[in-house]
Amino acid sequence: MRTLPPAFAAGLATGATTLARCWRLTRTDGVVLGLTEHDEDLTVDGTLFRAAGGVAGTESRAALGFAVDGSELSAALSADALSEADLAAGRVDGAEAELLLVDWSNPASFVRLRRGSIGEVRREDGVFAAELRSQADRLNETRGRRFTAGCDADLGDARCGVDLAAPGRTGFGRVVQPDGEGGFRATGLEGFASGVFTQGRLVFTGGACAGFATEVKVHRLDAGVARLELWQRPPEPLAAEDAFRVTAGCDKSFATCRDRFGNSVNFRGFPHMPGNDRVLKVARAGG
Q: Residue 228's pLDDT is what?
A: 95
Q: Residue 263's pLDDT is what?
A: 94
- In the chain, what are the domain boundaries? 7-138, 170-247
What would the pLDDT profile of 193-250 be if each residue is shown by its tens digit? 999 999 999 999 999 888 889 999 999 998 888 999 999 888 888 999 999 999 999 9
Does the structure show a pLDDT above 60 at 279?
yes
- Looking from the CA of 94 toward its CB, the CA atoms found within 13 Å total 8
Opening angle at CA 202, ends 270 and 243, nearest 5: 160
Q: What is 170-247's CATH topology?
A: Thrombin, subunit H (2.40.10)
- Beta bridge partners of residue 25, listed in sequence order: 33, 97
Q: How far apart are CA 229 and CA 181, in angstroms?
A: 9
Q: How confident is the model at residue 36 (pLDDT cuts 50, 70, 90)?
A: confident
What would the pLDDT profile of 91-144 be if each residue is shown by its tens digit? 777 788 888 889 888 888 888 888 888 877 777 666 777 777 777 667 766 777
**Torsion sign, CA atoms 2, 7, 13, 14:** negative
